[in-house]
Structure 1
Amino acid sequence: MKLIQTLSFGLFAFGVALSLVSAQSIEIHGRKSSVTNPPNIILMMADDMGMGDVNYYAGTAFDSTQAGLMKTPNLDAMAASGLRWDRFYSQSPVCSPTRASCLTGRHPFRIGIWQANQGGLRAEEITLPQILRDYGGYATGHFGKWHLGRFVTHTDWGQATGMDYAPPWERGFDENFSVMHAVITYDPYGESGLPGGSDYNPYFDGDQEYTDTLFGDTSKLMLDRAIPFMQSALDDDKPFFVCLWFNSPHKEVDASVGDREEFYVDGESKNEGFEAYAGTIYAMDREIGRLRTWLAEQGIADNTLLWFTTDNGPTGKGSPGPFLGSKRTLYEGGIRVPTVMEWPAKVPTPRVVDTVACTSDYFHTCLDAAGIDYTDTRPRDGMSLVPVIEGSMTERPGTIHFQSHGN
């Protein structure tokens, strides 16, 4: 067992598998939204990005050498205008378990996803988009990396071998433009992109394999499809719930020449690996800015909960900031992640929050924000953060448990 933080707030790792609940024992109690104007909800998640990979921590108590080198102007703007969450944790130090916690509010061990490329989001799990759609009338969309199951019933495609069939279109999402697992972050269908054979990993538009060309930055490719989806929801007078799960900056990392040049020294390339890494984050940040601008132009920014985090700590050229550890470890650097939120209707002035929170809290927070009264008899591990967002709660009641690979 690795101790990952002082026990003053009871945050510790544990090595006991949590019990599973069978679908037959579940009792569901739901009440449609009581909110007359429910917020739009956008959950943005980077992939393998650390506390030292955002510029807004430069010059703070969480400063690091790398933070001052990064260019994240739009995340910086979110941190300056909304909530900067300094003690936010991914539920796991690897990808798939964290993503499962976001959509279920349950510890990954309860649902059988304790590492990447293993298991899948079971059909009996009741997901956040399902509830928002069925009880809140939300249009639901997923764009980007899924990593919660196969999109096809066969197991011929590389990393899909160890995963169950569990596509987003069967887990509560009305529309999706999604990829099963990591792809190169620039030109995913280009010369250096989508490989053939056992490593074949195509995007899916709904339940159909996408076979057209895909060139450029993957974050832009996502927003090119997510914005029309959100516009369609507005046209239909429906609130929307969107997962924007970026591929950046997970390896294989690449960026446009222009974005890499932003990190040249004296006009010259000095560190190609870092330039590609920082460049893909810079490109992702630019698309976040594009989204924020679009929300403002539509007049819906005030009533949109826009939330950014990452699925675990960094690897490769990434930086955990001042913390020990990285991806795949239960030290702070493996699970303490940069997190910012804007929701002007509830957060009219900027604040720095140090209340302990984690990705399992997404489920309860989003339902609470949407005014949906929902319970079932299966155990849930998260809590609503709306009282923290509103400023009426500063200390988390209870503990958060972490487990990974027996640690």
Structure 2
Amino acid sequence: MGWNQPGFNGGRKGLTPNIDKLAGESLKLTQFYTHSVCAPTRAAFLTGRYAFRTWSDWRSEDFGKPSYLKALGLTLAHNERGEPTRRIHALDTRERTIAEALREAGYFTALVGKWHLGEWLDEHLPMGQGFMHQYGHYAWGIDYYTKTIVHNAPARFAVYDWHRNQQPLREEGYATDLFAAEAARVIAKQTREKPFFLYVPFNAVHGPLNPPPGFSGNKNDPLAIRDAMLRNLDDAVGRIVKAVDKHGFRDNTLVIFTNDNGPVLEEMSTPWRGTKNTTFEGGVRVPCLLRWPGHTEPGTANNGMMFIADWYSTFITLAGGKHEQERKVDALDMTSMLFQNKPSPRNEIVFEVEGSVRLPTLRSGDWKLMGDMLYNLEADPGERTDLAARNPEVVKRLEARLAKVGAERPPLGDKPLLMDPPLPYIYGLKENREPPKWLVDHVEKVRATQPKEWAPGETPWPQAPKGAFASQQP
């Protein structure tokens, strides 16, 4: 979702009435940042650590794509039968997640939505990472109706990806609507006696572009479909907020609405420059709302700098949990900024370091170094004027800082574990051992509609991004 898509940030009036209503009841953050694609942002949110520290700046599916593997200095793996397959890559189970920290503090923890931090081994799935309830899909992006992901790179055919508590789930309906219904069910089961943490990462408005039920527009108009998907997401957000209020949790629940990265179209980022998969402001600066009656002032804004990982330490403080842990966090406790109107303690964000598929990028104060480009965000928030040549001392200082932080990246290793079979019927090693007949039949039906041949060099997935303008690659 782009910065200017919701109405409260300048989007078309009437497209997001529920989110806009929430904005009127909330504190709005105007300098809230994420990583520039989904999996890195999710890892940072869950661990409080920059994505490079867990190698989550590389997604699980990248380890089955030759162009990404080449950038890593790896080759496409083959199993003992000689079949090409992907190397297993996921969020290390030894990482402490916010779900684990809050569970330790006495919270019920639930995930409803998209996981995207490992789709095969039990220890990498949500219930192996601190969640007591799971619903939704494990991988990057499902068809909203069939619940299949279009490919399992390097395999080029569909895989089923719909689960409740890590068991195959047969369910009709549109994914966004189903997520809202499940979230409302989870909220309805909670009591005043036990606090809860509900993480609802929608796949909307991510592709594929599947028009929601009741769509009456032009099915050949991608912008009309995107608008309809956003309107459907807005309805889902409204249903979840309504459930919080209906069941008596309004006054003692912090409701947060935000996004994981920028849009695929730059026109949805204005006034910022850039898109998803770039570290221009349009790729990493996203809408964020907080509603907590008695603690946040409705209809106000805070311009303090905050990064997605900061929720980790902030949530632990609010829950009365334990901050002590083995692995270093990058998260900063933002309670004083958010709820006491104090200045932000954050003055720096490391978006990418050397070894990422994207350009090394650092924000330090008003300065932002992106590859060999330098911008002053206070004077030039639209990042139109590269000041690197005029400020060599600033470039040198920020390059040195990036190099120092980047040196903390741990070794990747050779990733010896392989997904086998290379083309499962459903994600989850255990779930795929004996998939039910309905699931096999459903997946075979979807696969029968997919292309059987591809021209040399063509793939059903995009190639690894290169440079600052990755979104403009063919």
TM-score between the two structures when normalised by the length of structure 1: 0.75
Contact 2:180 2:236 in 1 (8 A): yes
CA contact (8 A) 1:130 1:173 kept: yes
Looking at structure 2, the residues matched to 318 and 214 of structure 1 have their Cα atoms a distance apart, in angstroms, of 34
Q: 2:113 aligns with which of 128, 136, 144?
A: 144
CA shift digits 1:146-171 (9 cap, x unpaired): 00001447xxxxxxxxxxx6100100
Partner residue of 1:365 out of 309, 314, 324: 314
Given residue 56 of structure 2, which amino acid in structure 1 is its aligned partner? I
Alpha carbons of 1:233 and 1:127: their partners in 2 closer, same or farther (altered >3 Å)? Answer: same
Q: Check whether the contact 2:305–2:346 (CA below 8 A) recurs between aligned residues.
A: no
Match of 2:166 among 190, 203, 207: 207
> Any idea what SS the aligned residue of 1:340 has?
strand
What is the CA RMSD across the aligned residues, in angstroms? 2.2
Residue 32 of structure 2: which of 47, 72, 88 is its match?
88
- Decide whether the 8 Å contact of 2:90 with 2:118 is kept in 1: yes
1:169 aligned residue: 127
- State how far apart, in whole Å, the 2-side matches of 1:356 and 1:371 are: 24
Are 1:127 and 2:70 matched, yes or no?
no
Letter paired with 1:105 = G
Residue in 1 that maps onto 2:246 = 297
Shift of residue 69 of structure 1?
A: 6.0
Q: Which residue of 1 aligns with 2:7?
A: 55
Counterpart residue identity of residue 188, structure 1: T
**1:285/1:185 Cα in 2 relative to 1: closer, same or farther (>3 Å)?**
farther
Shift of 1:251: 0.7
Q: Equivalent residue for 1:275?
A: 224
The answer to whether structure 1 residue 345 and structure 2 residue 315 are counterparts is: no
Partner of 2:100: helix, strand, or coil? helix
Find the counterpart in structure 2 of residue 113 from structure 1.
Answer: 56
> Quick one: distance in 2 between partners of 1:68 and 1:395?
31
Listed as ranges, the matches of 1:225-264 within 5 Å are 225-234=182-191, 237-256=193-212, 258=214, 260-261=215-216
Contact 1:368/1:384 (8 A) holds in 2: yes
Greater displacement, 295-304 / 394-403: 394-403
Deviation at 1:186, TM superposition (A): 3.4
CA contact (8 A) 2:28 2:301 kept: yes
C-alpha deviation, 1:176, in angstroms: 0.4
Query: Helix, strand or coil for the counterpart of 1:132?
Result: helix
The alpha-carbon distance between structure 1 residues 195 and 309, as it changes in their structure 2 partners (threshold 3 A), is: same
TM-score by length of 2: 0.64
Alpha-carbon deviation of 1:247?
Answer: 0.6
Residue identity matched to 1:241: F
1:285 aligns with 2:234: yes
Distance (Å, rounded) in 2 between the aligned partners of 1:323 and 1:170: 38
Q: 1 CA distance for matches of 2:150 and 2:278?
A: 29
C-alpha change, 1:281 and 1:372, in structure 2 (3 Å) is same
Give 3-state SS (helix, strand or coil) of 2:312's partner: helix
> Distance in 2 between the 1:318 and 1:349 partners?
29
Task: Kindly name which structure, 1 or 2, has the bigger radius of gyration based on alpha carbons.
Answer: 2
Distance 1:247 1:318 in 2: 21
Residue 3 (structure 1) aligns with: none
Per-residue deviation, residues 214-271 of structure 1 (Å, max 9, x unmatched)? 222x122012222222222327x3111111010101110222353x44xx5xxxx496
In 2: Cα distance, 1:75 partner to 1:185 partner: 24
Letter in 1 for 2:5: D
- The one-letter amino acid of 2:350's match is H
The answer to whether the 8 A contact 1:277-1:317 is kept is no
Deviation (angstroms), 1:402: 1.1
298 and 257 in structure 1: CA distance in 2 versus 1, 3 angstrom threshold: closer
Give the residue type in structure 2 aligned to 1:360.
Answer: A
Matches of 2:91 and 2:162 in 1, distance apart?
Answer: 19
**Quick check: 115-124 or 76-85, which moved more?**
115-124
- Give how far 1:366 is off: 0.8
Aligned residues: 325
The 3 A distance-change label for structure 1 pair 179 and 140 is same
Q: Which amino acid is the alignment partner of residue 275 of structure 1?
A: A
Tell me which amino acid in the other structure corresponds to 2:53.
R
The 3 A distance-change label for structure 1 pair 286 and 85 is: same
Asked if structure 2 preserves the Cα contact closer than 8 Å seen for 1:51 and 1:320, the reply is yes
The answer to whether the 8 A contact 1:273-1:317 is kept is no
CA distance in 2, matches of 1:287, 1:185: 18
Q: Describe the shift of the 1:274–1:70 C-alpha distance in structure 2 as closer, same or farther (beyond 3 A).
A: farther
Post-superposition offset of 1:182: 3.5
Matched, 1:180 2:138: yes
Q: Distance in 1 between matches of 2:121 and 2:293?
A: 41
Q: CA deviation at 1:122?
A: 0.6
1:297 CA displacement: 1.4
Whether the 8 Å CA contact 1:85–1:338 is kept in 2: the answer is yes
Match of 1:76 in 2: 20
Structure 2 gap ranges (5+)? 63-88, 361-474
Amino acid at match of 2:286: V
Q: Is the 8 A contact 1:185 1:255 kept in 2?
A: no
